[in-house]
Amino acid sequence: MTWDIATLLTVSGLQISSIYLLTGLGLVLIFSVTRVIFVPFGDISVFAAITLAGFEAKQVPGTIPLVAAIVVFALVVEVTSRVRRREWRVIPKAVLYWGVLPLVPCGLAWLVGHFGAPAEVQIAASILLVVPVAPALARIALQPIADASVLVLLIVSLALEFVTSGVALLFFGPDGFRTQPLVPGSITLPGGIPLDMQVVLMICVAIIISGLFYLAFQKTTMGKALRATAVNRVGARLVGIRPARASTLAFLAASLLAGFIGVLISPVTTLYYDSGFLIGLKAFVAALIGGLVSYPGTAIGALFVGIFESFASFYSGALKDAIVFGLLIPILIIRSILIVTHEEDPEELDQ
Amino acid sequence: MSTPMLEIGDLHVRYGLVEAVRGVTVTLEAGQIVSVIGPNGAGKTTLLSAAMGLLPSEGVLRFEGADLRRLDVEARVENGLCLVPETRELFGDLSVADNLQLGAYSKHLSRGALRNRLEAVYTRFPRLKERSGQAAATLSGGERQMLAVGRALMAGPRLLMLDEPSLGLAPLIVKEILSIVRGLRDDGVSILLVEQNARAALESSDYGYVLETGEIALSGDSKSLATDERVQATYLGGATAKAS
Amino acid sequence: MSRAAPLLASVIVALFIALFPLVSGRFMVSLFNEIGIAALVALGLVLLTGVGGAVSFGQAAFVGIAAYATGWLTLTEIPSPWLGLLLALALTFVISLIIGMATLRLAGHFLALSTLAWGIAIPIVFGNVAALGRFSGLADIPAAHLGSLSLASPYRMYYLIWIVVGLSLLFSFNLLRSRTGRAIRGLRGGNTLLASVGANAYWTRVWLFVIAALLAALAGWLYAHTNRFISPSPFDLHASIDYLLMAILGGLGSLFGSVLGAGVVHLLQNELQNILPLFTQYAAQLDAVVVAAIFILLLHFARAGVMGYVLRLYHRWPQPLPTFQPGRNQLVQPLAARPKPEQGKQLLAARGVVKRFGGLIAVNDVSFEVNAGEIVGLIGPNGAGKSTMFNLLTRTLPMSAGHVEFLQQDISKLRQLDVARLGVARTFQHVKLRPRMSLIDNVAMGAYARGRAGMMRAGLRLNRKEEEQIMEEARAQLERVGLVQRAYERAGSLPLGTQRILEIARALTADPVLLLLDEPAAGLRKAEKHALADLLRKLRDDGITILLVEHDMDFVMNLVDRLVVMSFGSKLAEGTPAAVRADAKVQAAYLGSST
């Protein structure tokens, strides 16, 4: 391998890393607050990308009815549970928060698709459209069993991913798609290596969003409340933070991140209906380096996995995924040696 | 007679098949410190957890005349009922200041009101001000207990339930904490105090209950309980023991 | 009589399976072949996940390894499926042993995620190796022969498959009713519980993992020689999830659930394959969606699975539980007992023991001794460090400084399970029992270190004599603590106080020299406390030394020979009950210092 190739692979690795970084942050956010390992995360990015591709093709994207359907389903679940507990008075509020507000982005996206809009608006509408998806999916499939063990939640989350990617196939078909670069052109690195501006943008956006993410968690009351819920759920309840509300907020923030990831990745990678699964799982490998709870650890993990994958694909494009997942086992073993965990209460699957 | 601040009547709490609290009745009038003492496993913590809504229970639970059982834990906090649990349940990774700030989460205070309340807690616990930037997990046992009480005070409770504030603390610190607890009462916060440290609890309280195997074995005003032979027997065994 | 109904049900099912091909067509027989093969994999998951508590998202990969092993061997090297079976089992054994050893120290979801990793990675490898036919797979794999009898026909394969399923069920059933089987069933109680009876949770889990993988390998071999064609996709993550679904749908709590689950899922998928193409061109993918949706519904509403319902119905009928005649069964030779040290000899010595948790000193330079034949009480206010001290003495926790001697041997560096094997048995402050196991099975767990039979011998029922001895010992100890009449009830149905007594019986089954009891009287009523005190005195008279932590002072003062008092992690006083009671420092610590 020459020096040039190594540099090229590193740059492409950084680009992949930026995606895993943002995905990893979302996954860690969700896991720490809700104990859910949210496998469908990558699918939400794909939804955003498909939406943008639809706008660019001057169509009303198929994601709009899909998101609307998910939202309505979640609304039905929410209202049913309220009715069952005879909480009649909160139903109007539930309809507002779980029905009306989440449908606003759908309407917005429909307007953009129908009448056309500048690229910036298209991008914003694509990101906004997917914001209700994670909270709604969680309301449907995860919140009713929020007290179950991490393992049960993981299995449900995995099954949920099969549902979302399968439904995505029905809605969008098996063809791949790509969107226009957000910024055209390229620059040349010292040594004559060309670098697309899109790649520079991805890396910059990843850094900026991570920074904002950090600030939001350190400085705002909501951010602190989310961290508090992650650290100690009983403690959070004792100061009046409702874990269910904190969970929804975490899913909402993660969904927004997923939207950003979708529009960033679609100009550089051809996406398919099932691409989200692998993006999500590889980001897990990154997040696991931080033990699924550490944001800096996830950042380091993302950097490592991205560059590793880039070099692995140089040696064998077909086996790169196997190599990246194979990497997880030594990572977990090293972690288990380095970090002495307290004995957890045994998890019961069937209770 | 006026409505009591807290009314626990014939309360039963079950863990699966095991009944940890069996028909307990406890009443607390506004402005009182009431203590519940008893040996390990008597059901003291279970009683408080049920009163807070952390555990489901059967029986009467009223706070200022209103039925508590319709409210979840968070709504009870909003209504002025706070618990400092035996396990403290602090936010270990967050700073002392952040822990305190979140204590007022349910009140949605303005920035200024929040600062005032924070200052009031710092005045009561100067040690916490010194440590305000430190993560809660790095505090010593006594400081943790202060932070737990301080965090509860941030919510402006009318009734504060303290579960074993003396647990694992050196006698001097226990004294300090209990004198703060008495100070709170003088400032209008009613207190339900659960303790294993019987003498300290009875010295600080107006009325006391002795809980044994999930049932109230004795109750009475704290002074008379403190000299009761049966209380001594429970704690040192053999009714012959005399307190020095 | 309680065994009659399950036995009858098994015979009926076996008869149905045996006669089924006589009355049904080739298609249904092939479908039942698939069900039987899948049931083997699901059975492995019931053992691993349902009983052992470790989730695997990669079981299909083991099916694939075995299928490809036999496929490759029979196509390119030696056309003998029986050699293929050997290779398949050997390869799966080695790979699962390596993966298991590498990952089974991980807990809970980390373990599950690691299985996801190899569950994805291994099928990708199948699809990219030229010798394995890449994504087009291996075709024309030879059929198996029994002597001159070809097993090419699905009807003949049917019997081979279902005989293997039947034997595997029997093996698993035997395994769970054995010394190692009780350890497997104890896995979900945590490593500490198993180590306290001298069992190694890690290796128990590894061997269980290997057994589950070998069951998957049997399925893989059968699959390769039934279908005679293999490609990567039946071994991918989706397939692994399907197997997990089968295990949970059938009922993780029941071995037979694997067969039911496999049956329901396959019949359902068969129906979906008929219906879905009417609606969409993506029938295969939609099939996966429907199956996943069912999985979610199942975990929301019916985690006990089909067998959960069946068993609940069955338990509605009042069951006469077997009872025992009092006294030792003379026909069973008792397990060998440990020699007891002579009275008064120093048994246990703690010397300058220190334990720090971060900045907190939980135990601060504590020294004391326990002599053979004594009952010693360790008392102190809440948070004094008594339970921590217990954990240090038994090596449940590592100590920060100091050392502990047992029978003049330094045990501070030993593992917890080795200390247990030396004859130190204990109970726990927070009771560690398996609530869904019967009292006698819980107690028999205590005899782990007194038996030798491994998993293979247990599965093949070669452990009959030892098993009889262990069960007789468990029965005798239950009788000793007065619970023998409830031997077959579930441990979880006992009141908390009685559960503590059950833990004492479990500790006694280990034939201990030293018994450490953590708050044995908590939660007992007066009369029960008296009975417990009498029992402990009798144990002392039988040569067992006892160290106990207890809060009920009446109970302690009237029972113990000597007391050690701890406060804030340090030793406050030591001496006879009367001396300790008169000690001013102790009074201050207990009643609170006077202001």
Q: What is the distance of C-alpha A228 from the center of its chain? A: 22
Q: What is the mean pLDDT of residues B40-46?
A: 83
Q: How many CB pairs under 8 A join B and C?
A: 90
Dist. CA A280–CA A321, nearest whole Å: 12
Instruction: Say which residue the tokens 């699966």 belong to.
Output: B16
**Residues C557/C375, Cβ–Cβ less than 8 Å:** no
Q: Over chain B, what is the mean pLDDT? A: 87
Q: How confident is the model at residue C523 (pLDDT cuts 50, 70, 90)?
A: confident
b/e for C175-210, b at 16 or more Cβ within 10 A?
Answer: bbbbbbbbbbbbbbbbbbbbbbbbbbbbebbbbbbb
Interface test with B, best of C363, C553, C586 (most B CBs within 10 A): C553
pLDDT, tens digit, for every residue of C460-479? 999 999 999 999 999 999 99
Beta carbons of C382 and B244 less than 8 Å apart: no
pLDDT at B233: 67
Dist. CA A64–CA C221, nearest whole Å: 47
Put simply, whether A232 touches B (Cβ < 8 Å) is: yes
Q: What is the mean pLDDT of residues C502-517?
A: 96
Least confident of B75-89, C1-15, C297-311: C1-15
Instruction: DSSP for C288-347, please give it.
Output: HHHHHHHHHHHHHH-TTHHHHHHHHHHHHS--PPP---SS--TTSPPPP-PPPPPTTSEE
pLDDT at A346: 43
Percent of chain C with pLDDT over 90: 66
Dist. CA A252–CA A136, nearest whole Å: 9
Which pairing describes strands B58-63 and B6-15: parallel, antiparallel, or unpaired? antiparallel
Dist. CA C55–CA C44, nearest whole Å: 11
Put simply, whether B237 touches C (Cβ < 8 Å) is: yes
Q: How confident is the model at residue C67 (pLDDT cuts 50, 70, 90)?
A: very high
pLDDT at B240: 39
Put simply, whether B234 touches C (Cβ < 8 Å) is: yes
Beta carbons of C495 and B17 less than 8 Å apart: yes
CA distance B214 to chain A (A): 24
Percent of chain A with pLDDT over 90: 56
Dist. CA C380–CA C564, nearest whole Å: 8
Instruction: Say which residue the tokens 């939660």 belong to.
Output: C523
pLDDT at A101: 94
Residues of C with Cβ-Cβ distance to A328 under 8 angstroms: 113-114, 117
In chain C, % helix, strand, coil (3-state, to 5) comes to 60, 10, 30
Q: Over chain C, what is the mean pLDDT? A: 90
- Among C526, C13, C11, smallest CA distance to C263 is for C13
Beta carbons of A241 and B74 less than 8 Å apart: yes
CA distance B8 to chain C (A): 23
Whether residue A344 has pLDDT greater than 90 = no
Whether residue B241 has pLDDT greater than 60 = no
CA distance C560 to chain A (A): 33
Put simply, whether A235 touches B (Cβ < 8 Å) is: yes
Whether residue A351 has pLDDT greater than 80 = no
C360-371 β-sheet, strand order: C360-371, C346-357, C401-406, C409-410
Instruction: Say which residue the tokens 């660019």 belong to.
Output: A56
pLDDT, tens digit, for every residue of C109-131? 888 888 988 999 999 999 999 89
Q: What is the mean pLDDT of residues A185-201?
A: 81
pLDDT at A342: 47
Put simply, whether A241 touches B (Cβ < 8 Å) is: yes
Q: How many CB pairs under 8 A join A and C?
A: 154
Percent of chain B with pLDDT over 70: 92
Q: How confident is the model at residue C592 (pLDDT cuts 50, 70, 90)?
A: low
Put simply, whether B16 touches C (Cβ < 8 Å) is: yes
Distance in Å from the first CA to the final CA of chain A: 55
Residues of A with Cβ-Cβ distance to C252 under 8 angstroms: 349-350
Dist. CA C546–CA C397, nearest whole Å: 20
Least confident of A126-140, B174-188, C191-205: B174-188
Instruction: Say which residue the tokens 């109680």 belong to.
Output: C189
CA distance B224 to chain C (A): 15
For residue C138, give the 3-state DSSP assignment: strand
**Residues B85/B40, Cβ–Cβ less than 8 Å:** no
Beta carbons of B236 and C552 less than 8 Å apart: no
Beta carbons of A170 and C282 less than 8 Å apart: yes
- Among A57, A73, A177, smallest CA distance to A132 is for A73
Q: For chain A, list the contacting chains (3+ Cβ pairs, <8 Å).
A: B, C
CA distance A316 to chain C (A): 10
pLDDT, tens digit, for every residue of C225-260? 999 999 999 999 999 999 999 999 999 888 999 999
Whether residue C459 has pLDDT greater than 80 = yes
Q: Does the reported pTM lie above 0.90?
A: no
Beta carbons of A240 and B54 less than 8 Å apart: no
Q: How confident is the model at residue C591 (pLDDT cuts 50, 70, 90)?
A: low
**Residues C118/C60, Cβ–Cβ less than 8 Å:** no
**Residues B84/B193, Cβ–Cβ less than 8 Å:** no
Q: What is the distance of C-alpha A338 from the center of its chain? A: 28
Q: What is the mean pLDDT of residues C93-100?
A: 94
Residues of C with Cβ-Cβ distance to B228 under 8 angstroms: none
Give the dihedral of Cα atoms C530, C532, C537, C541; nearest 10 deg.
140
Residue A281: closest CA among chain C residues belongs to which residue?
C117
**Residues C158/C32, Cβ–Cβ less than 8 Å:** yes
Residue C386: closest CA among chain B residues belongs to which residue?
B168
Nearest to C109 among A154, A323, A329 (CB): A154
β partners of residue C515: C425, C546
- As for the ipTM of the complex, it is 0.91
CA distance C519 to chain B (A): 9
Dist. CA C474–CA C444, nearest whole Å: 5
Task: Specify the DSSP class assigned to residue B137.
Answer: G
pLDDT at B200: 81
For residue B220, give the 3-state DSSP assignment: strand
Q: How confident is the model at residue B201 (pLDDT cuts 50, 70, 90)?
A: confident
Q: What is the distance of C-alpha C486 from the center of its chain? A: 22
Least confident of B216-220, C12-16, C276-280: C276-280
Beta carbons of B106 and A225 less than 8 Å apart: no
Q: What is the mean pLDDT of residues A292-320?
A: 89
- Among C488, C490, C489, C453, smallest CA distance to C470 is for C453
Least confident of A269-278, B27-36, C440-449, C582-591: C582-591
Dist. CA A118–CA C227, nearest whole Å: 56
pLDDT, tens digit, for every residue of C323-338? 777 777 778 888 888 8
Nearest to B98 among A224, A232, A242 (CB): A224
Which pairing describes strands C401-406 and C346-357: parallel, antiparallel, or unpaired? antiparallel
What radius of gyration, in Å, describes the C-alpha atoms of chain B? 18
Task: Specify the DSSP class assigned to residue B191.
Answer: E
Dist. CA C335–CA C469, nearest whole Å: 6
pLDDT at C595: 36
Q: What are the tokens at A36?
A: 């859910």
Instruction: DSSP for C50-101, please give it.
Output: IIT----S-HHHHHHHHHHHHHHIIIII---HHHHHHHHHHHHHHHHHHHHH
pLDDT at B177: 84
Q: What is the distance of C-alpha A264 from the center of its chain? A: 13
Dist. CA C491–CA C440, nearest whole Å: 9
pLDDT, tens digit, for every residue of A226-252? 999 988 999 999 999 999 999 999 999
What radius of gyration, in Å, describes the C-alpha atoms of chain A? 20
CA distances from B232 to A66, B244, C112, C186, C400 (A): 70, 12, 53, 42, 37
Amino acid (1-letter code) at residue C197? V
* Cβ partners under 8 Å of residue A262, min gap 6: A44, A45, A46, A47, A48, A49, A51, A52, A126, A127, A130
- Among C386, C554, C583, C520, smallest CA distance to B236 is for C554
Nearest to B170 among C555, C568, C584 (CB): C568
Dist. CA A119–CA B118, nearest whole Å: 48
Nearest to B238 among C382, C383, C581 (CB): C581
Q: How many CB atoms lie within 10 A of CB B107?
A: 17
Chain A stretch 201-230, residues whose beta carbon is closer than 8 A to a beta carbon of chain B: 221, 224-225, 227-228
Dist. CA C300–CA C291, nearest whole Å: 14
Whether residue B16 has pLDDT greater than 80 = no
Residues of B with Cβ-Cβ distance to C359 under 8 angstroms: 138, 140
Residues of B with Cβ-Cβ distance to C552 under 8 angstroms: 39, 237
Beta carbons of B83 and A238 less than 8 Å apart: yes
Q: What is the mean pLDDT of residues C284-296?
A: 87
Whether residue C55 has pLDDT greater than 80 = yes
Interface test with B, best of A32, A239, A241, A295 (most B CBs within 10 A): A239
Least confident of B52-61, C8-17, C57-66, C309-318: C309-318
Dist. CA C506–CA C567, nearest whole Å: 30
Percent of chain A with pLDDT over 70: 96
Q: How many CB atoms lie within 10 A of CB A174?
A: 11
- Among C38, C91, C67, smallest CA distance to C229 is for C67
Q: How confident is the model at residue C594 (pLDDT cuts 50, 70, 90)?
A: very low
Output the 3-class SS for A10-54. Answer: HHHHHHHHHHHHHHHHHHHHHHHHHCCCCCCHHHHHHHHHHHHHH
Interface test with A, best of C45, C114, C125 (most A CBs within 10 A): C114
Of C494 and C549, the structure prediction assigns the larger pLDDT to C549
CA distance C113 to chain A (A): 9
CA distance A211 to chain C (A): 28
Whether residue A178 has pLDDT greater than 50 = yes
CA distance A246 to chain B (A): 13
pLDDT, tens digit, for every residue of A221-233? 999 999 999 889 9
Residue B92: closest CA among chain A residues belongs to which residue?
A231
Whether residue C60 has pLDDT greater than 90 = yes
Q: How many CB pairs under 8 A join A and B?
A: 65
Q: For chain C, list the contacting chains (3+ Cβ pairs, <8 Å).
A: A, B
Q: How confident is the model at residue B237 (pLDDT cuts 50, 70, 90)?
A: low
Q: What are the tokens at C335?
A: 């397990």
CA distance A347 to chain C (A): 7
**Residues B54/B36, Cβ–Cβ less than 8 Å:** no
**Residues C578/C548, Cβ–Cβ less than 8 Å:** no
pLDDT at B244: 32
Nearest to B171 among C358, C496, C593 (CB): C593
Dist. CA C391–CA C396, nearest whole Å: 5
Residues of B with Cβ-Cβ distance to C591 under 8 angstroms: 197-199, 232, 235-236, 243
pLDDT at B236: 55
